[in-house]
Structure 1
Amino acid sequence: MSSTGFEGRSVVVTGAGSGIGRASALRFAEEGANVLVADLNPETAHQTVEAVRTAGGVARAVVGDLSEQRVVDEIVATATGAYGGLDVLVNNAGIMDRMSAVADTEDAEWERVIRVNLTAPFMLTRAALPHMLDRGRGAIVFTASEASLRGSAAGAAYTAAKHGIAGLTKSLAVMYRNKGIRANAIAPGATSTNIRVDAEATAHGPSVIGPYVGLAGRVADAAAEQAAAILFLASDAAGNINGTVLPVDNGWSAI
């Protein structure tokens, strides 16, 4: 068995087609886990699966919008059917907003960011929990954000969604800590990923936030730093860590 205890365990990683999600899926597979790659983009999802298999690991993909119940059901059914259960859920998928201030946030921006970043992980967690509870154990790790800790790292929609993720993490920890379920989150600072920020620099939100974002400092590596933190929180080594939002931000949150 691997030193992290993932050998033969069933792991679902969302947003696993790229960035932190792909790096995490590869790392879990390296540790002997059976990985379910969930992503909206079929091409990148299957690229991750092929990368895992080329390295000798086990993976398969489910493609679709995570805020649709049928996709959530397919993810859980595929993981439990193929791998015999569900041990770890990494709710990583997310999108950025346009750094919009409240007065400039349109309904479409708000609803899409909340749906993808908060509602989708809630739905998948809700679907995964019965399987973890049946086993009497499970680890759930969310990708929160520096924006879950402060109001100066993103726009109104993204900040609200990631604060929601922090609250969801803590609620899960309290509700299920005596059932063998742990819930934690990482709060990445600046990280090298392909997440897009479609912001107008002269708009009110970006012009206010810009100087604060400039305090982020060094850009983290998705695999060596963010994925490593996710694996730690999901591992047996973190068995008494529950309800934590862990900044992985080179001290940005300490400023």
Structure 2
Amino acid sequence: MNLTDRVAVVTGGAGGIGAALGRRFAAEGAAAIVLADLAADAARTVAEQIGPVAHGVGLDVADEAQVRALVEETERRYGRIDLFCANAGVATGGGVDAPDADWERAWRVNVLAHVYAARAVLPAMLRRGSGHVLLTCSAAGVLTAVGDAPYTATKHAALGFAEWLSITYRDAGIRVSALCPQGVDTPMLADGLATGHLGARVIAASGPVLTPDQVAEATIAGLAEERFLILPHPEVAAYARRRAEDPDGWQAGLRKLVRKLRAADH
């Protein structure tokens, strides 16, 4: 997809990767960019910084009625949605004993929000025979988020859903991409490193930590090539191959890294 004169919606657009996508889409000449976020004021501030082409709105992606209303209002205002980026996500930092509320929130934001977005945008895209849906699934969807069971499980589900969408609708003109970055310099990772969370430390030790702008740049390249799997960290592809070829060896390597990090604490 070429972003020139396109209409794009980005959830989780108030900061991090979402805000970077908004800025990059504007630089590519997008006709309109809607940045939606639970933090409505922050989304509006980012939109103001980008300029007249951008519009910030409040949105709880876990509420299907709100997602549907956002899509309907955007289509009414701009005539269409060419690209919908379901980018919002939440981490819990918990294991199997994480409270049910954390599992439920992760499920609704990391999985059901993608389902709600697809239900809302697909009808018009299918009528036109064109459109692109981008789901931010994280490298955790390809691999594993050590130290965060709900995040791992839901990101795997998100990637599975993205693949299903691509197989089901590509021949109807709909392109689907799964954005799967590893370490990104966002508050989510920074907070984890500040508190010494094991998962954040594993991420930081597994490859370079990219800026959101670098992820946005990789996304533009992936969209232009209509790739399904967009990997801003190329090493994730190598990790995925190793994991598929030797799952026991892959897990042994991760356990070794975890032991090393824990030993450093003593």
What is the TM-score when the length of structure 2 is the normalising length? 0.81
Counterpart Cα distance in 1 of 2:48 and 2:155: 31
Shift in Å at residue 230 of structure 1? 2.1
* Equivalent residue, structure 2, for 1:38: 36
Counterpart Cα distance in 2 of 1:30 and 1:247: 21
Structure 1 stretch 33-42 or stretch 147-156: which is displaced more? Answer: 147-156
Counterpart Cα distance in 2 of 1:108 and 1:29: 37
Which amino acid in 2 is paired with 1:101? G
CA contact (8 A) 2:33 2:55 kept: yes
1:163-194 CA distance string (max 9 Å, x none): 01111111011110111001111211111112
Q: Secondary structure at the match of 1:192?
A: coil
> Is 1:159 paired with 2:149?
no
More helix by share: 2
> Residues 111 and 18 of structure 1: is their aligned pair in 2 closer, same or farther, counting only changes over 3 Å?
same
Which amino acid in 2 is paired with 1:85? R
Any gaps of 5 or more consecutive residues in structure 1? none
Shift in Å at residue 211 of structure 1? 6.5
* Equivalent residue, structure 1, for 2:69: 74
1:11-61 CA distance string (max 9 Å, x none): 0011010010000011111222111111000221011110121xxx41222
> Is 1:101 paired with 2:90?
no
Counterpart Cα distance in 1 of 2:237 and 2:2: 31
> Is 1:231 paired with 2:224?
no
> Residues 48 and 118 of structure 1: is their aligned pair in 2 closer, same or farther, counting only changes over 3 Å?
same
CA contact (8 A) 1:14 1:91 kept: yes
What do you get for the CA RMSD once the two structures are aligned? 2.2
- State how many pairs are aligned: 237
* Equivalent residue, structure 2, for 1:251: 235
Any gaps of 5 or more consecutive residues in structure 2? 240-266
1:175-222 CA distance string (max 9 Å, x none): 1011100111121111111226569979xxx55x57743532321011
Q: Which has the larger radius of gyration?
A: 2
CA contact (8 A) 2:17 2:216 kept: yes
CA contact (8 A) 2:7 2:82 kept: yes
Equivalent of residue 121 in structure 2, options 121, 125, 128: 128
What is the TM-score when the length of structure 1 is the normalising length? 0.85
Question: RCO greater where, 1 or 2, for CA within 8 Å and sep 6 or more?
Answer: 1
Identity %: 32
